[in-house]
Amino acid sequence: MSEIIRDKTAIAGIGVSKFGRGLEESQLELGLVAFKEALDDAGLTREDVDGLSIHMGWPLGVDYDRIAEVFGLDIRYVNQSWLHGRFVTNALQHAALAVASGMADCVACITAISFTRLRGFLGGPEDQEGTREEGGTHGEAPAYGLTAPASGAAMAMQRYMAQYGATSEQLGEVAVTFRRHAARNSRAVMRTPMSLSDHQASRMVVDPLRLYDCCLITDGAACVLVTSTERARDINIRPVTIAGMQGIRSGREEFIFSPRGLGLNQQTINPQPARERDLEVYRSAGIDRDDVDGLYTYDAFSPLVLFTLERFGFAGPGEAAAWIQGGRIGLGGELPMNTSGGLLSEAHVAGWNSITEMVRQLRGTAGDTQIRGASVLQWGTAWGDSIILRN
């Protein structure tokens, strides 16, 4: 796969709307702001866009057909996924694959969501996807009062704590670090400093997860334009290329919010260090894990940060809670993570806020959150998919 994908496609433009809670603007209005900003950023026009890869459609977001008709686009390639955060990587990968294969010249990934207007979809009575027979995809069991995605992450963290002796205080390092990053980011919704005691004093939501272990519920939009690297070079001074990628993992050994082998759902109890098969993304990009200057992940719940570190072998099984202590994942640390504040403190734009931050980092335009000399950044999730970007 590496020769088909490696550095063949690039992110040529990024755009974001404002992020906030209870925004008056519709998803279409927010999406338009992000789309226009991305076009301006790339020096492209809407006529150049012939593909759409939509992560979250109606009703949280906007469906591809509505975007195309309202924005007056003429589209020849479409991908759209379920209403789950997990498909952020998938949506970006499909954009790259469509460009690499010639199905599209320029794909817009537009994620425009209003979570605050549609709160009932997040674990509430309108959340149809959580009511799937024999359990929702995050481990929901509505008949038993387990209705929200947070509960699946809590179930995994509780077992992880019992197995390895990890503590809520250790987990607090994630929220505290990302809040520190958000404080440097003017787009971030939550910038008030947070101490570990603030984290420990925050109310329990689903034991063992406290309020500050759960991401923000916000509104906002982000747009990423993917085109060929050749074309991006023509229009951009410094394109950010998609260097490598690997797909989402699934099977009886996989639970969305758990490392392999932890013993959630039908997983065996068999914790093991990351296997070669789970590290394809580095081979795909032709790099070593040590080359990664920063790691970005879908931090819907703080345990996912630990599980991502173990999934990609930065830490061994059960070691991530201790590994992250002492500023290791903060700006200036060994492996800065989610430098704009992530879903926990910047905003919940389904991970696209972090993707746009990665592009700013690789252009050297991240301002107060800049990782000095960033040249290789990894997006990777607790469910095992990943993309490596570089400049």
Partner 1 sequence: MTETTDTPYAKPLPRITADNAPFFDGLKRGELRLPRCDDCGRFHYPPGPVCPYCFSEAVEWTPTTGHGTVSSWVVVHKAWFPAFEAEIPYNVVQVELDEGPRLTANVIDAAPDELSVGMKVVAVVDTVTPEQYLLRFRRAK
Binding site for partner 1 (CB under 8 A): 122-125, 131-135, 139, 141-148, 151, 154-156, 158-159, 162-163, 203-208, 252, 263-266
Q: Give residue 144's identity as a one-letter amino acid code.
A: Y
Bridge-based pairing state of the strands 240-246 and 386-390: antiparallel
Q: In the bound complex, what is the minimum distance in angstroms from residue 148's beta carbon to partner 1?
A: 5
Q: Give residue 199's identity as a one-letter amino acid code.
A: H
Name the burial class of residue 98, with classes exposed (0-12), middle (13-18) and buried (19+) by CB atoms within 10 angstroms of its CB. Answer: buried
Cβ-based nearer residue to partner 1, 119 or 238 = 119
Q: In the bound complex, what is the minimum distance in angstroms from residue 215's beta carbon to partner 1?
A: 14
If you count them, how many residues does the chain have?
391
Question: Taking every pair of C-alpha atoms in the chain, what is the biggest distance, in angstroms?
Answer: 57
CA-CA distance, 149 to 85, in Å (whole number)?
A: 10
Cβ-based nearer residue to partner 1, 153 or 183 = 153
Cβ-based nearer residue to partner 1, 131 or 375 = 131
> CB–CB of 167/175 below 8 Å?
no
Q: In the bound complex, what is the minimum distance in angstroms from residue 202's beta carbon to partner 1?
A: 11
Q: In the bound complex, what is the minimum distance in angstroms from residue 175's beta carbon to partner 1?
A: 17
Q: Give residue 126's identity as a one-letter amino acid code.
A: E
Cβ-based nearer residue to partner 1, 61 or 208 = 208
What secondary structure letter does DSSP report for 226? E
Q: In the bound complex, what is the minimum distance in angstroms from residue 16's beta carbon to partner 1?
A: 29
| Cα angle value 57/62/65 (rounded, 5°) | 90
CA-CA distance, 16 to 314, in Å (whole number)?
A: 31
Q: In the bound complex, what is the minimum distance in angstroms from residue 306's beta carbon to partner 1?
A: 15
CA-CA distance, 244 to 265, in Å (whole number)?
A: 31
Cβ-based nearer residue to partner 1, 2 or 163 = 163
Cβ-based nearer residue to partner 1, 11 or 153 = 153
